[in-house]
Structure 1
Amino acid sequence: MQDYFEPAPPAPENGGESLTAEQAIANLRGDDLGLRYYAAWWLGRFRVREPAAVDALLAALEDESDRTDDGGYPLRRNAARALGKLGDQRSVPALIWCLDSSDYYVREAAAQSLEMLNATASVPVLMQMLAGGVEAAVRVPGKPHLAQPYNAVIEALGTLHATEAISLIQPFLEHPVKRVQYSTARAMYQLTGQSIYAERLIQALRGDELQLRRSALMDLGAIGYLPAAEAIAETLAENSLKLIALKGILEHQLGSNPTQPPSLSDHAIQVMAVMDSLL
């Protein structure tokens, strides 16, 4: 799902379009900032799980040369995103370190990647990022974002089954930003199993803003909430996104035990029928 919302950066004119893994790793270690930025994205996009790729991306997390005018670290952002996709647990300590970055988008990417890596060691630091509660979760003056990447932090805590964080997460159901409310409802369902939180996301599918309906679709797919299948199919949004959300629900129904073949329960067949109706 993350890939859908993460458009590819433009390929550099001097050698970005037709890379091999070896070339991408070499570019990431080179001096050309454009090639380095693209290589970090490319290694994640194509899941290059070679140790040398992980090593190069870990080194890029400490890069000081690629800076924006306001002090951001574009290369570090791409490296942090890529490391989550490569699945190497060696990345966890460095990504936890990134949660303290001065760059909001590095912190966001690190939280998302730690969620992907199922890094339970990151839970205490993620919980610290919710310190101050909703009152502190305000927009930074002159910036287009809140004080912390609350969506990513709360979603990570939900996926990591951090039940000890429930008291910190629950107040964000009343946050003025609806997307934060949705992330909170998603996490609260994962942490408590109470359908009232998932039903809030179903209600969000009927909202006026397309982007918010898209967000609710992705959240329902992430939690695999079966009663949402029909509502997802009827949502005013792209069929491609509805199918992604339904795929998430189907995967929850099939289970994830690699030693056993998937079982086509009546519920799984029901979801597949809904998906067929959208094709």
Structure 2
Amino acid sequence: MDESNTSPYTAGQAIANLQQTEHLGDRYYAAWWLGKHRVQDPAAIEGLLAALGDELDRSPDGGYPLRRNAARALGKVQDLRIVPALIACLDCDDYYVREAAAQSLEMQGDGAAIAPLSAFLTGGINVATAVPGRPHLIHPYEAIIEALGTLGATTAIPLIEPFLEHPVEKVQFAAARALYQLTADPHYGDRLVRGLQANKLPLRRSALIDLGATTYLAGAEAIAKTFAENSLKLIALKGLLENHLRQQSADSPSLTAESQQVMALMDSLL
């Protein structure tokens, strides 16, 4: 764990704050801090797992802020108990707990999450509708689909494909990202490249992030030319390059011409 010597806040204090019940704000911050610093202490993990069942910290809309932070934090540590606990969170009635659980399951990389995540897609896009009065769909489809792509869930391909036609463009991008990860079909990479030309900046940012999660090096130049912040374009190019290098054979340690092109594009943005 990387702790700052200038801060009086320690892992021990965070664990103690997480376990007390008087000051809910301190518990919320403690869960965030333990995740940020990736604290592997068994007591910290035990506290975060217990927080997934918290009933005290409630938001005005009925959600569970502490559970959300605990689910996010658990995605950043390693423990055999984490995956079943996060899978159980997928049944929570708080949308943001389900979203945090899906994102953390993606980070854990355990195939045990594929079936429960896939179950959310079985109804297709006809049931993937918005919640009246809320700024989100009934389920966190972006996070679910992205997790399935990262987890290599080839069995979910038929379930993901219809979401390319979902009315929410960010969900379309998530589907294209996952399908490229699962099939390496450039058609899906090109779909994300087209997303870089969206009229709205938030959509271009979303397409950048999704392209950066793939190995579609053919999209590198389009990333560099996107009308968006250079910092975000650098993050996308870095992700693209790192994913490509991880996929390369150990027998081919030298940089390919495509890899060198991505590095040159990164240099041009600095």
TM-score scaled by length of structure 2: 0.93
Give the Cα–Cα distance (whole angstroms) in 2 for the partners of residues 193 and 199 of structure 1. 11
Q: How far does the alpha carbon of each residue in 1:2-38 deviate from its partner, in whole angstroms, 9 at most, with x for none? A: xxxxxxxxxxxxxxx7411111111111121000001
TM-superposed deviation, 1:208: 0.7
CA distance in 2, matches of 1:227, 1:95: 35
1:142 and 1:189 map into 2 onto residues whose CA distance is 33
Match of 1:120 among 85, 103, 111: 111
Deviation at 1:261, TM superposition (A): 10
1:203 is aligned to: 194
| Secondary structure, aligned partner of 2:132 | coil
**DSSP-derived class of the 1:176 partner:** coil
Aligned equivalent of 1:183: 174
Counterpart in the other structure of 1:3: none
Tell me how far 1:265 sits from its aligned partner: 2.7
The equivalent of 1:270 in structure 2 is 261
Rounded to whole Å, the distance in 2 between the matches of 1:140 and 1:272 is 43
- Pairing 1:231–2:222 present: yes
Residue 256 of structure 1 and its aligned partner are, at CA, apart by 6.6
Is 1:162 matched with 2:153?
yes
Q: Which residue of 1 aligns with 2:48?
A: 57
Aligned to 1:14: none
CA distance in 2, matches of 1:237, 1:261: 34
- The alignment partner of 1:85 has SS state of coil
Q: Is the 8 A contact 1:253 1:267 kept in 2?
A: no
* 2:11 corresponds to 1:21: yes
Q: For structure 1, which segment, 33-42 or 124-133, has the greater mean C-alpha deviation from structure 2 after superposition?
A: 124-133
User: Which position in structure 2 is the counterpart of 1:13?
Assistant: none
User: What is the distance in 1 between the residues matched to 2:68 and 2:91?
Assistant: 13
Q: How does 1:15-164 map to 2 (within 5 A)?
A: 18-31=8-21, 32-164=23-155
Give 5+ residue unaligned stretches, structure 1. Answer: 1-16
The yes-or-no answer on 1:250 pairing with 2:241 is: yes
Write the distance in 1 (CA, Å) between the matches of 2:12 and 2:251: 36
Query: Would you identify which runs of 4 or more consecutive aligned residues in structure 1 move more than 6 Å?
Result: none
Encode CA deviations 1:137-167: one digit per residue, 9 max, x unaligned: 1111121110110000111111111111111
- The residue that corresponds to 2:207 in the other structure is 216
Residues 90 and 200 (structure 1), Cα distance of their counterparts in 2 relative to 1, 3 Å cut: same
Percent of residue pairs identical: 64
Distance 1:223 1:253 in 2: 8
Cα contact 1:207–1:213 (8 A) shared by 2: yes
Post-superposition Cα deviations, 1:159-201, rounded to whole Å, max 9, x if no partner, equal 1111111111100110000000000000111111110011010
In the TM superposition, residue 69 of structure 1 has moved relative to its aligned partner by 2.5
Distance 1:85 1:229 in 2: 28
CA RMSD, aligned part only?
A: 1.8
1:260 deviates by 8.8
Q: List per-residue Cα deviations over 1:71-96 (Å, max 9, x = no partner).
A: 21000000001111123342000000
Taking structure 1 as the reference length, what is the TM-score of the superposition? 0.90
Whether contact under 8 Å (1:253, 1:265) holds in the other structure is: no
Structure 1's 260 and 21: CA in aligned 2 closer, same or farther, altered over 3 A?
A: farther
Whole-angstrom CA distance in 2 between matches of 1:244 and 1:189? 19
What secondary structure, in the 3-state scheme, does the structure 2 residue paired with 1:132 have? coil
Where structure 2 has 5 or more consecutive residues not aligned to the other structure, the ranges are: 1-6
Counterpart CA distance in 1 for 2:78 and 2:209 is: 21
In structure 2, C-alpha distance between the alignment counterparts of 1:175 and 1:18, rounded to whole Å: 48
Structure 1: how far apart are the matches of 2:197 and 2:42?
45
Aligned length: 263
Aligned-partner residue type, residue 41 of structure 2: E
Q: Aligned partners of 1:126, 1:255: CA distance in 2, in Å? A: 25
Paired with 1:28 and 1:233, the residues of 2 have a C-alpha distance of 43
